[in-house]
Structure 1
Amino acid sequence: MIFETLVTTVGADARVHCAPMGARYAAGEVILMPFKPSATLDNILATGVAVMNLTTDVRVFAGCVTGRRDWPTVPAERIAGRRLVGTLAHVELQLEACDDDAQRPVLHFSRVCERTHAPFPGFNRAQAAVIEGAVLVSRLRMLSAEKIDSEMAYLQIAIDKTAGPAEREAWQWLTEAVAAHRATLDQGRAAA
């Protein structure tokens, strides 16, 4: 089972990088599989640590895949990292092993510190739709236009029926990203 989280890492230049990432829990460890190349992977390999942030603020998921990566952070408690402000919970991770792969290395982490900051009320359908939309936007170059259109149309139903202001804002960012991607493709075809 994969859980959608937000992973914060810190680069050699002390800049915080935030990225949505699926996490797996297995035999007491956390497994992350960032794509190559990525700032997340580079930062983890350089520092050996990361923070997994758990939140229902889906604007952060949508923001990260649409170029809005500057979210407020505070220092982690037991590692040299930073966690997002306003998360429901966070888990501080220490890299234990890396199984290299040409596309997606498998990173094995121990849990150094786990904190709950607020109760989890559950996701509404719009929040789940935004997370799915963010996954689609992160794969615009890999998926067909037809697949993107059909998936986004289906997810729009949940947005229309259950979204609050934060989910509507996040959804707008995602639809703008899809439109911008299409415009870039159209310009490339026109120039060819």
Structure 2
Amino acid sequence: MIREVIVTSRSPDGESHIAPMGIHVTGEDRLLMPFKPSRTLDNVLATGVAVMNFTDDVRVFAGCLTGRRAWPLVPAVTTDCPRLAGALAHAELRLLRHEDDPLRPRLHCRVVHEGNHAPFRGFNRAQFAVLEAAILVSRLHMLPTEKIEAELAYLRIGLDKTAGAAERKAWGWLMERIEQHRRGSP
């Protein structure tokens, strides 16, 4: 099973980093497979810890992919790595082992602490659409334009029917990023 979460990590010099990621759940362990190059990869290898943050605020996912990474953080309980202040829940991870790979190294981690902070009330279709669009944005360099356009057209149906202000803002950020990609801007 893969959980779409926000991963927080910290560099050895104390700089926090926030990134969306699909985390593989394998029993008690969690498998992170960031694409190279990756600040998350560098931070986890250097410090041996990370935090999985569970949030229903899709602006965080869209924001991280569009240069908006200034989300409030608070200290975690057992690791020297922050968590999202607005997380519904979080899981603190310790690195067990690392398998290098030229494209996607495998970071095998163990959950060492979990905390629940607010109830999860479920995703509406617009939130789902933003999450899927965020995944597309993270792969703009790998996917054909036709696939991106077809998937966005389908996702827009649910967005148009159920979006609130937060989902519209997040969607707008992602569409701006896609337009930049189309124009060849970084």
Q: TM-score when scaled to structure 1?
A: 0.94
Instruction: Return the letter of the residue paired with 1:163.
Output: A
Alpha-carbon separation, structure 2, partners of 1:94 and 1:24: 15
Alpha-carbon separation, structure 2, partners of 1:178 and 1:25: 30
* Residue 111 (structure 1) shift: 0.8
1:159 equivalent to 2:159? Answer yes
SS of residue matched to 1:12: coil
Structure 2 residue ranges without an equivalent (≥5):
none
SS of residue matched to 1:92: strand
Instruction: Return the letter of the residue paired with 2:52.
Output: M
Alpha-carbon separation, structure 2, partners of 1:121 and 1:138: 26
2:117 aligns with 117
Deviations 1:59-96 (A, max 9, x none): 00000111111111001110000000111000000000
Instruction: Return the letter of the residue paired with 1:140.
Output: L
Between 18-27 and 168-177, report the one with greater CA deviation.
18-27
2:40 aligns with 40
SS of residue matched to 1:78: coil
- Mapping of residues 88-107 of structure 1, within 5 Å: 88-107=88-107
Aligned length: 185
Instruction: Return the letter of the residue paired with 2:70.
Output: D
Q: If you compute each CA radius of gyration, which structure gives the higher value, 1 or 2? A: 1
Alpha-carbon separation, structure 2, partners of 1:105 and 1:169: 33
- Mapping of residues 30-69 of structure 1, within 5 Å: 30-69=30-69
SS of residue matched to 1:148: helix
Alpha-carbon separation, structure 2, partners of 1:131 and 1:11: 27
Alpha-carbon separation, structure 1, partners of 2:103 and 2:183: 28
Alpha-carbon separation, structure 2, partners of 1:22 and 1:89: 16
Alpha-carbon separation, structure 1, partners of 2:180 and 2:102: 29
Percent identity between matched residues is 59
Instruction: Return the letter of the residue paired with 2:152.
Output: M
Q: Structure 1 stretches (4+) deviating beyond 4 angstroms?
A: none
* Residue 27 (structure 1) shift: 2.5
